[in-house]
Amino acid sequence: MKRSHLPKAIRLAIVGIFCLGMATSCGTKTTNAEILNSLNETAAPAEMPVIEAELTDAPLVPAPITRKHPAKVVVRLEVTEVVKKLADGVDYTFWTFGGSVPGKFIRVRQNDEVEFHLMNHPDSKNPHNIDLHAVTGPGGGAAATFTAPGQETVFNFKAINPGLYVYHCATAPVGMHIANGMYGLIMVEPEEGMEPVDKEYYVMQGDFYTKGAFGAPGLQPFDMEKALDEKPSYVVFNGSVGSMTGDNAITAKVGDKVRLFVGNGGPNLVSSFHVIGEIFDNVYVEGGSNVNKNVQTTLVPAGGSAITEFKVDVPGNYVLVDHSIFRTFNKGALGMLKVEGPDNLAIFSGQTEQKIYLPEGSVVQEMPKSNAPKAAIANNKDMRLELGKTLYAQNCQACHQAEGQGIKGAFPPLAKSDYLNADVDRSIGVVAHGLEGQIKVNGEVYNSTMPKLKLSDEEIANVMTYVLNSWSNKGGEVTPEQVKKAKDKYKH
């Protein structure tokens, strides 16, 4: 047993004997406390507790750290190469840290010693490693973790600097490994901890480069030429189109303080991160210690991060976007925060008045022509519903809203729509050809312009089937053959 582990009374007795001998031989007087302090200073330090890291998939994050002392934290992360959904009807072979894109969220405390295990699944076709931007040392751990399929590597580092950091694969070709989804976030909490909040979520943007255009069905391979030209087919949050909408939306209640850990895996694009209808009370710029207040949109560089905090004061759906806005509505970078609770009319009244306004004429707008990919072919109604749900999110949700409720005075509701249910073919014609002029929906008059949507007959059939079977509408299935006839019947 080491001296530092002896009971205090025994240690004092030893000290007394030692002092007596010293006083007799040297003629000096030393107190017990002085010698005990000397023994304590030279004794071996107590070993840090060993903790197995809690790792989570986006949008969840591990629990905040409440301990007031450093620990040895063991992180075990497995690399897998898996086929997963990139969009409805579209698959992609992702290279992942932990089976998901982004990789697992890691949470440690400043001055923790991290023992990092990287395992590469035997089924992988490629070697991989990991560069953690939180690491002080060559390659951020990349050289120490070069791991062949079926192997495991281990290294240790001390988490010196607090902040929110990206990690990614750094095996050549580095850009390709990152473009295939090999990135995630590690939070190093400051010693004093973080201010408690009600909700915390993990949001990470990435750009993907597929041979096919956006929406082209089937298993899509990586396109190096598009990646080199920095022209992604998809820009998404948390690894896929729709990963944070509908049933996957993140949630909060009125009065909650929300913290978003936002990362950008890139590999190429800078994100202009924004939450429509909210102002960030605090933004920890680039994941560091500097705080900006009352921020509308914050830049998140490729390979960088930001922490945003805001209080939700009124209920409703808040849309998370990359404010390079075509990425949101045409490439998939869209998420949803659903907030429930009582209205606060002093902060947001909703519409208080509606008047007729007649500008100098208007015409039906036509969406720009493009070489649209061939739509996925639905083999049954269930598949048509699934494909239609994605098309609705991409083309209709911004105006008609997530639950089809529309926007009073601007965009008519699709939920329980008497206009839709009375004549489905007429509604197909509106989707195909656009609409200008007054219509009456559920007792309200609307006089807005709907643009022509550049959708194929198959896509119109899918989205119309989805709408008909949602929000208490009458149901049924629309086929491409019905769409073709309806387009001819209601052609302007």
Report the DSSP beta bridge partners of residue 284.
291, 307
**Residue type present at position 45:** P
**Residue type present at position 110:** Q
Rounded Cα gap, residues 102 and 371, in angstroms: 30
The token pair at 323 is: 């404010």
The token pair at 103 is: 């990789």
Rounded Cα gap, residues 69 and 46, in angstroms: 12
3-state helix, strand, coil in the chain (%, to 5): 25, 30, 45
- With 0.85 as the threshold, say if the pTM is over it: no
**Residue 117 annotated as lining a ligand binding site:** no
Q: Is beta strand 316-322 parallel, antiparallel or unpaired with respect to 106-109?
A: unpaired
**Residue 177 annotated as lining a ligand binding site:** yes
Which pLDDT belongs to residue 434? Answer: 85
Domains in the chain: ranges and CATH: 47-344+353-365 (2.60.40.420), 381-490 (1.10.760.10)
Question: 415 — alpha (psi -120 to 50), left (phi > 0) or beta?
Answer: beta
Rounded to the nearest angstrom, the gap between the alpha carbon of residue 386 and the centroid of all alpha carbons in its chain is 22
Which pLDDT belongs to residue 490? Answer: 82
**Residue type present at position 225:** E
Rounded Cα gap, residues 73 and 266, in angstroms: 28
Query: Per-block average pLDDT, block size 10, for the chain (492 residues)?
Result: 42 40 41 45 63 98 96 98 95 98 98 98 97 97 97 98 98 97 98 96 98 94 97 98 94 98 98 98 96 98 98 96 94 96 93 64 48 65 89 83 83 92 91 84 83 85 93 93 89 68
**Residue 128 annotated as lining a ligand binding site:** yes
The token pair at 431 is: 């989707």
**Residue 5 annotated as lining a ligand binding site:** no
Rounded Cα gap, residues 33 and 39, in angstroms: 10
**Residue 133 annotated as lining a ligand binding site:** yes
Instruction: Give the number of other CB atoms < 10 A from CB of residue 375.
Output: 21
**Residue 274 annotated as lining a ligand binding site:** no
Taking the alpha carbons at both ends of the chain, their separation in whole angstroms is 94
Which pLDDT belongs to residue 356? Answer: 58
Q: Do the beta carbons of residue 300 and residue 273 sit within 8 Å?
A: yes
Crossing angle of helices 480-489 and 457-468, in 10° steps, is 100
Q: What DSSP character marks residue 139?
A: G
Rounded Cα gap, residues 329 and 439, in angstroms: 26
Q: Which stretches of 254-296 are assigned E, i.e. beta strand?
A: 257-266, 271-276, 280-284, 291-295
**Residue 323 annotated as lining a ligand binding site:** yes
